[in-house]
Amino acid sequence: MAKLVVSKFGGTSMGDADCMLRSAEVSYRQGSSLVVVSATSGTTNDLIALGKTAETQSWPDAEKILTKIQERHLKIAGDLRLPADSVKLLETLFEEMSSLAKGIHLLKDCSVKALDTLVSLGERMSSLLFTQAMSQVLKKHNSEKTAELLDVRKVLRTDDSFGKAKPLTAEVAALAQKHLSFLREGQRVVCTQGYIGMTEEGNTTTLGRGGSDYSAAILAEGVSADVLEIWTDVAGIATTDPRLCPKAQPIREISFKEASELATFGAKILHPATLLPAIRKNIPVFVGSSFDAEARGTWVRKDVEDHPLIRAMALRKKQVLVTLSTPEMLYAHGFLFQIFKIFNDHKVSIDAITTSEISVSVTLDDSTLLNKKLIADLSQIADVQVEENLALISLIGNNINHTAGLGEKIFKAISDINVRMICLGASKHNFCFLVSDEQGPEAIRRLHSCFIEAGSEEMA
Ligand code: ADP
Ligand code: ASP
Ligand code: MG
C-alpha cells in the first residue's frame, strides 16, 4: 500500500500564486494525500490588526485593512484563474470577514473568542486558493487524482481555550476516521487549514501563533500517517536560527527529544507542540524548503545515528524572571505546591525554574505579565519580584548533564556577559540560562562559534 504522507506549508510557501503552485508541485511529487496550509504570508498579523483596529479606531481605519487583505487574495485568485464557484466562496469569506469586523466595531469589543473566528479566515481563504493550485498541478501532470477542500473544523476538535486551544486527540482520531478514511486509497488530495479548530459546541478556535505545524501533526496522528512533512522557507532545521547567525549549519538528522527541546525553547521553525503527536505515533517528520525542495532538509526521528554533545542552540526573547520569596518556605512543605497550583489555575506554563531555601525563580513569557490576576494571586503567598527584558539561551544535545567541563567551556565563551539564572540537570538534552535580551544574539553567535563551528567533538 502507498505511503500516507501529510504535508504542511507555512505562510511564505503560500505567499502568492507562484508560491502556491510551487508548493502544490512539491505535494504532487511527494505523493501527499493531506495538505495542511497556513494563511498567506502576513495575513494572520493583518487579521489581528483588523480586530484591534475595529475595536479601538474608526471604521474607515479598519476598512483599509479589510481592503488590503481582500486585494491580496483577489490578486492570487486572478493569477490562479479561480473558477466562478470558488470565487463565490471567496466572496462569502470576505463578507464574513467584513461582518465580523463590523460587529467588533459596533460592540467595541474584540474578545479572544471573536478574534479566533476572525483570524480563522486567513487559513480558510488560503486553503481555498491552494486547492485550485493543487488542482492545476494535478491536471498538468495528467494525474487521475483530484484536489478537494476540507473544512478542518469538521475534524480538528479542540477544547474552548480560545487563542490557544488544546486539540482533543481521541475525538480527532474518531472524526478523522469518519471524514478521512479514504486517504489511503490515494485518489484524492485533501487540502485543508492549519491553525484552526472547533469546539464541541461549534465555536471556532485557534491553536496559538505558528500553530499550523501542530495542526498538521495532530492530523497526521489522527489519520495514522507514515510521514509528516513540514515545508517552510529554510531547507530544514539548522544548528541555530540562520537569521541570528549566518554560519548556522543544516542538521541532517535529529532525535525527537532534541528537536522537541529545540522547539520548546524557542526555535520558531517548529511550533513547540508539533512533535508530541509524532512521538506518540512514532511518525518520522521531514522539514524542508518549499522553495528548494531538492535540498536535503532534516529528518526528525525516534532513533538517530549520531549523538553530539551540542547539536543546536535556541534563543527565546522577551522572557521575564519572576522570583517569589518568603521566609515561610524555610523548613516548610507545600510551598511549591501552592505556587504551581496558582500557575495551573491560570493555565500558565513555566519554562525554567530554580529554587533556594526561601525563594523560587521561574521564567515566563513576558505576555504573562498582562495577567494581573496571576501576579496578584502570587503576591498573596510571597513577595513577588519581576525582572524583564531577558532572553533564554538553550544548548541542545546529548549527555549534557554528564559531561565534565561543559559549564566551564560555555561560560568562558561568554565570560563578559552577565548570566541571570542557570538550569542544568533536569534534562540530558538541555542546558539553559538567562541573559539580557540585548546580549542574547551575541551570546548565541559566540556559543555557536565555540561549539558548532569549532566542533564539539573534543568535549564528547
Ligand atoms: P512557516 O511560516 O513556514 O511556518 P516560520 O517563520 O514559522 O515558517 O519558521 C521558519 C523560520 O524559523 C525560518 O525562516 C528561521 O528564521 C526560523 N528558525 C528559528 N530557528 C531555526 C532553526 N534552528 N533552524 C532553521 N530555522 C529556524
Ligand atoms: N497563520 C498562523 C500564524 O501566523 C498559523 C501558522 O502560520 O502556523 O500564526
Ligand atoms: Mg511557523
pLDDT attached to residue 458: 46
Tens of pLDDT, residues 91-110 = 999 999 999 999 999 999 99
238 close to ligand 1 (CB < 6 Angstrom): yes
Tens of pLDDT, residues 289-306 = 999 999 999 999 999 999
User: What band does 331 get if pLDDT is binned at 50, 70 and 90?
Assistant: low
Q: How many domains does the chain have?
A: 2
Note whether 178 and 323 are same-domain residues: no
Measured from the Cα of 243, ligand 1's closest atom is 16
Mean pLDDT, rounded, for 155-161: 97
The enclosing domain of 328 has a CATH number of 3.30.2130.10
More confident residue, 126 or 351: 126
**For the packed helices 43-56 and 84-107, what is the interaxial angle rounded to 10 degrees?**
40
Up-side HSE of residue 293: CA atoms within 13 Å toward CB?
17
| CB neighbours of residue 201 within 10 Å | 6
Percent of all residues in the chain with a pLDDT value above 90, rounded to a whole number: 84
Phi, psi of 283 (to 5 degrees): -100, 120
Residue 265 CA to ligand 1 centre (angstroms): 13
Tens of pLDDT, residues 439-459 = 999 999 999 999 999 864 444
Q: Rounded distance, CA 412 to CA 459, Å?
A: 14
313 close to ligand 1 (CB < 6 Angstrom): no
Instruction: Among 232, 252, 289, name the best residue to mutate to test ligand 1's pocket (greatest count of ligand atoms within 8 A of Cβ).
Output: 232
User: Does residue 243 belong to any structural domain of this protein?
Assistant: no
Domain end among 176, 206, 233: 233
User: Does residue 242 belong to any structural domain of this protein?
Assistant: no
Identify the residue whose cell numbers are 523548613. Answer: 331
pLDDT attached to residue 95: 98
Per-residue DSSP letter, 157: B
Residue 14 CA to ligand 3 centre (angstroms): 12
Domain that holds residue 416: 310-453
Report the SS3 class of residue 81.
coil
Which residue in 223, 175, 182 sits closest to 197, CA to CA? Answer: 175
Residue 395 CA to ligand 2 centre (angstroms): 26
pLDDT attached to residue 358: 82
Instruction: Among 45, 116, 212, 218, name the best residue to mutate to test ligand 2's pocket (greatest count of ligand atoms within 8 A of Cβ).
Output: 212
pLDDT attached to residue 332: 67
Note whether 333 and 445 are same-domain residues: yes
Tens of pLDDT, residues 266-281 = 889 999 999 999 999 9
Tens of pLDDT, residues 380-398 = 989 999 999 999 999 999 9
Report the SS3 class of residue 373.
helix
User: What band does 330 get if pLDDT is binned at 50, 70 and 90?
Assistant: low
Q: Rounded distance, CA 369 to CA 201, Å?
A: 31
Mean pLDDT of the chain: 94
CB 215 within 8 A of CB 158: no
Note whether 224 and 350 are same-domain residues: no
210 close to ligand 1 (CB < 6 Angstrom): yes
In this model, does residue 230 exceed pLDDT 50?
Answer: yes
Mean pLDDT, rounded, for 151-177: 97
CB 49 within 8 A of CB 65: yes
Residue 40 CA to ligand 1 centre (angstroms): 16
Count the residues in the chain: 460
Least confident of 14-23, 107-116, 326-335, 421-430: 326-335
User: Does residue 293 belong to any structural domain of this protein?
Assistant: no
User: Does residue 340 belong to any structural domain of this protein?
Assistant: yes
Q: Rounded distance, CA 309 to CA 363, Å?
A: 25
The enclosing domain of 115 has a CATH number of 3.40.1160.10
Mean pLDDT, rounded, for 355-361: 85
Residue 212 CA to ligand 2 centre (angstroms): 6
In this model, does residue 368 exceed pLDDT 90?
Answer: no
Instruction: Among 130, 209, 230, name the best residue to mutate to test ligand 2's pocket (greatest count of ligand atoms within 8 A of Cβ).
Output: 209
User: Does residue 240 belong to any structural domain of this protein?
Assistant: no
In this model, does residue 460 exceed pLDDT 60?
Answer: no
Tell me the C-alpha to C-alpha distance, in Å, between residue 106 and each of 98, 110, 117, 176, 388: 12, 10, 17, 38, 36
pLDDT attached to residue 457: 47
CB contact set of 338 (below 8 Å; sequence gap of 6+): 381
pLDDT attached to residue 338: 87
Measured from the alpha carbon of residue 39, the closest ligand is: 2
Tell me the C-alpha to C-alpha distance, in Å, between residue 65 and each of 11, 37, 157: 18, 22, 30
Note whether 333 and 197 are same-domain residues: no
In this model, does residue 220 exceed pLDDT 50?
Answer: yes
Domain end among 233, 255, 282: 233
User: What band does 15 get if pLDDT is binned at 50, 70 and 90?
Assistant: very high
